[in-house]
């Protein structure tokens, strides 16, 4: 029999805590950046996480911060030997981001703990509520920092990654008051996680287009990032004929459009260029050097590899056209992640139990669930994003939709907790 907690699915009757929490975090933002910017390891990120930790404590969770800044709150279960049900997301944002990406999952997870406390419900499993450090990444090019550390993947190579000024990721983390040298202490043991459940805004148009209130994610994109350094020849812009130039900027422009052309030719593939910079930004001098950064995403690893092959070929062709030479360096590839089918079925059942017919969908955005899936079964609940917009100030999800997602998350926690060990995979 399905267990529920009393009163509007057990949530705060006015959803007032969720609304106030969204407003509160929207007030802790960088005034020098557009939108709602709480960039990982910034002053605002540290302040936001301190507030999140205080909310966890108020919800009755034993709370601590790990060596890279992930905030973890624990509600012990009645069986000390049972592995934890983990719920959470991230409270950092991209620069110029929105109010909902990540935040909905962190507040939703805390509200689940609050609802359990209000109703006096004691889970068998420990409930672990997590605000993962710096999911969105940094100028060093490393995403999912906190969850990577927990899953054991934040090694010296990634901690030593540098930004344009030579600052390492370890420096960045230490600058926010954490202890990256102790990253090994962040690691969770195999078998510690019964299930990982993450509530998130969809960040795309599918749920809205289908008129659906809840999505359950099938798989999360793989990402392959690159840096392209184009070497041309510095010459006078007024005197060197067009057909004798080695113009690094023109090759880079071709390479930008090649990303678009190659990605658009695939069914589920996307490709994006981030920065395009040159060391000679003068109109009267031909560019001798240009750098662009970019990424491809796909639900399939073999497709990602094929995109890499096609892009390398397109760059070679652009070099031939522009008499340039280029170095194409692929960064760390995050492979696509298939979320746990049995756990996702449980979550879809939880959604049905609280009145939502869940749509199954793919996520073209990445999530901490990718790393958590290494430690145990992982599933995600999506709620609609207005006009499919995200990573922009216009990002919006109605409070009613947030609340639906939290009710599904709460029900999913109860349903997973009630599974006999081994059934439906968790336990």
> Which of Mn ion, ligand GLV, none does residue 69 bind (CB under 5 to 8 Å by kind)?
none
Q: Which is nearer to ligand GLV, 136 or 415 (CB)?
A: 136
For residue 403, the partner it binds in Mn ion, ligand GLV, none, with Cβ less than 5 to 8 A by kind, is none
Q: How far is the CB of 101 from Mn ion (least distance, A)?
A: 4
Tokens of 391: 């990573």
204 binds, among Mn ion, ligand GLV, none (CB under 5 to 8 A by kind): none
In the complex with Mn ion, which residue's Cβ is closer, 77 or 153? 153
Smaller CB separation from Mn ion, 132 or 311: 132
Give the nearer residue to Mn ion in terms of CB position, either 143 or 407. Answer: 143
Neighbours of 321 (CB within 10 A): 11
For ligand GLV, the closer CB: 48 or 424: 48
Which residue of this chain has its Cβ atom nearest to ligand GLV in the complex? Answer: 365
Footprint on this chain of ligand GLV (rule: CB under 6 A): 136, 143, 365-366
| HEC secondary structure over the chain | CCCCCCCHHHCCCCCHHHHHHHHHHHCCCCCCCCCCCCCCCCHHHHHHHHHHHHHHHHCCCEEEECCCCCEEEEECCCCCCCCEEEEEECCCCCCCCCCCCCHHHHHHHHHHHHHHHHHCCCCCCCEEEEECCCCCCCCCCCCCHHHHHHHCCCCHHHHCCECCCCCEHHHHHHHCCCCHHHHHHHCCCCCCEEEEEEEEECCCCHHHHHCCCCEEEEEECEEEEEEEEEECCCCECCCCCHHHCCCHHHHHHHHHHHHHHHHHCCCCCEEEEEEEEECCCCCCECCCEEEEEEEEEECCHHHHHHHHHHHHHHHHHHHHHHCCEEEEEEEEEECCEECCHHHHHHHHHHHHHCCCCCEEEEECCCCCHHHHCCCCCEEEEEECCHHHCCCCCCCCCCHHHHHHHHHHHHHHHHHHHHCCCCCCCCC
Shortest distance, position 318 Cβ to Mn ion, whole Å: 31
Question: Considering the complex, what minimum distance in angstroms separates the CB of residue 368 from Mn ion?
Answer: 8
CB of 219 to ligand GLV, least distance (A): 14
Q: How far is the CB of 236 from Mn ion (least distance, A)?
A: 45
Distance of closest approach, residue 367 Cβ to ligand GLV, in angstroms? 7
Q: Which does 395 bind (CB under 5 to 8 A by kind): Mn ion, ligand GLV, none?
A: none
Binding residues for Mn ion, rule: CB under 5 A, are 101-102
Q: What is the largest CA-CA distance in the chain?
A: 82
Minimum separation from the CB atom of position 365 to ligand GLV (A): 4
User: Which of Mn ion, ligand GLV, none is residue 59 near (CB under 5 to 8 Å by kind)?
Assistant: none
Which of Mn ion, ligand GLV, none has residue 315 at its interface (CB below 5 to 8 Å by kind)? none
Task: Choose between 104 and 249: whose C-beta lies nearer to ligand GLV.
Answer: 104
CB nearer to ligand GLV: give 324 or 366.
366
Contacted by 366, from ligand GLV, Mn ion, none: CB < 5 to 8 Å by type: ligand GLV
Residue 219 binding partner per list ligand GLV, Mn ion, none, with a CB distance cut-off of 5 to 8 Å that depends on partner kind: none
- Kindly tell me which of 174 and 338 has the beta carbon lying closer to ligand GLV: 338
Min separation Cβ 203 and Mn ion, Å: 7
């Amino acid at each position: 029999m399905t267990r529920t907690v009393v009163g509007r699915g057990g949530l705060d009757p006015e959803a007032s805590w969720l609304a106030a929490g969204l407003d509160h975090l929207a007030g802790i933002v960088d005034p020098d950046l557009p939108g709602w910017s709480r960039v990982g390891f910034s002053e605002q990120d540290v302040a936001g996480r301190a507030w999140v930790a205080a909310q966890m404590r108020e919800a009755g969770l034993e709370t601590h911060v790990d060596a890279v800044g992930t905030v973890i709150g624990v509600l012990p279960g009645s069986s000390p030997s049972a592995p934890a049900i983990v719920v959470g997301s991230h409270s950092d944002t991209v620069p110029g981001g929105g109010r909902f990406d990540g935040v909905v999952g962190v507040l939703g997870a805390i509200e689940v703990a609050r609802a359990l406390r209000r109703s006096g419900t004691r889970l068998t499993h420990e409930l672990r509520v997590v605000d993962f450090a710096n999911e969105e990444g940094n100028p060093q090019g490393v995403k999912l920092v906190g969850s990577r550390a927990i899953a054991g993947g934040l090694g010296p190579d990634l901690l030593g990654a540098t930004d344009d000024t030579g600052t390492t990721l370890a420096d960045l983390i230490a600058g926010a008051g954490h202890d990256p040298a102790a990253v090994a202490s962040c690691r969770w043991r195999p078998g510690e996680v019964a299930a990982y459940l993450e509530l998130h805004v969809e960040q795309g148009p599918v749920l809205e287009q289908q008129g659906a209130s809840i999505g359950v994610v099938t798989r999360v994109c793989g990402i392959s990032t690159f840096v392209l350094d184009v070497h041309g020849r510095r010459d006078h812009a007024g005197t060197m004929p067009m057909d004798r130039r080695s113009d690094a900027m023109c090759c880079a422009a071709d390479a930008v459009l090649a990303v678009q052309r190659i990605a658009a030719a695939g069914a589920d593939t996307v490709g994006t260029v981030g920065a395009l910079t040159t060391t000679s930004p003068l109109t009267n001098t031909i560019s001798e050097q240009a750098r662009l950064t970019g990424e491809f995403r796909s639900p399939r690893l073999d497709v990602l590899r094929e995109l890499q092959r096609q892009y390398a070929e397109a760059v070679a062709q652009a070099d031939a056209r522009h008499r340039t030479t280029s170095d194409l360096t692929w960064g760390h590839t995050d492979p696509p992640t298939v979320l746990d089918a049995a756990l996702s079925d449980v979550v879809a059942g939880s959604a049905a139990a609280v009145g939502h017919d869940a749509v199954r969908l793919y996520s073209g955005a990445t999530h901490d669930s990718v790393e958590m899936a290494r430690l145990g079964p992982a599933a995600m609940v999506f709620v609609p994003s207005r006009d499919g917009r995200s990573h922009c100030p216009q990002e919006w999800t109605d409070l009613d939709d947030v609340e639906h997602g939290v009710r599904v998350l709460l029900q999913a926690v109860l349903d997973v907790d009630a599974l006999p060990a081994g059934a439906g995979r968790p336990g």
